[in-house]
Amino acid sequence: MLQAEIAAPRRYIISADHNATVCTREIAAFDFLTGTERDYFFTTDVEFPYAAAGSFHGFIGHFELDMAAGKVLSTGTAERETCWHHSYFPVPCIQVPVGGRVAARVRTFLEPEGNLMCVGLTIAGPNETLDGPVARMEHVYVLE
């Protein structure tokens, strides 16, 4: 089952526990009033530091939407649960030591055959770099 998941990873809809997350990073920000659909396609690198030893086994996706001055709709893990829940993007588990970090490259693109939105995740564990020989393969998730 693990090999099948690595070959064709799936995104899962879950209700995440805020206490089980290491940290939160902004991956992208969009302005729906002035932006274009091209803004939704990007590549960005982020790092996740570990203050304590632990396991890295995926990402939890959520969003915040500024509705009006002082009115924010958030689906973050620390907020009250919403009908959107969270998206969980699993990757093969990496053990991270105290003070270690995991680096990730996140890219979004359209699947060529079906024109579906996809997220690609490349992970580098402790003592690895995203462009180095040890970086793990890209995991691609189709967002249906």
Three-state DSSP class for residue 45: strand
The whole-chain average pLDDT of the chain stands at 81
Burial class (CB in 10 A: 0-12, 13-18, 19+), 86: buried
Q: Which residue has the higher pLDDT, 85 or 118?
A: 118
What is the pLDDT at residue 1?
A: 47
- Among 14-23, 25-34, 73-82, 98-107, the range scoring the smallest mean pLDDT is 14-23
CA dist 30 and 33 (Å) reads 9
2-142 fold: Hnrnp arginine n-methyltransferase1 (2.70.160)
Contact 135/123 with Cβ under 8 angstroms? yes
Percent of the chain with pLDDT over 70: 76
Q: pTM of the entire structure? A: 0.79
Asked if pLDDT for residue 66 goes beyond 90, the answer is no
Contact 118/9 with Cβ under 8 angstroms? no
Express each pLDDT in 118-142 by its tens digit.
Answer: 999 999 999 898 987 766 688 888 8
What is the pLDDT at residue 6?
A: 55
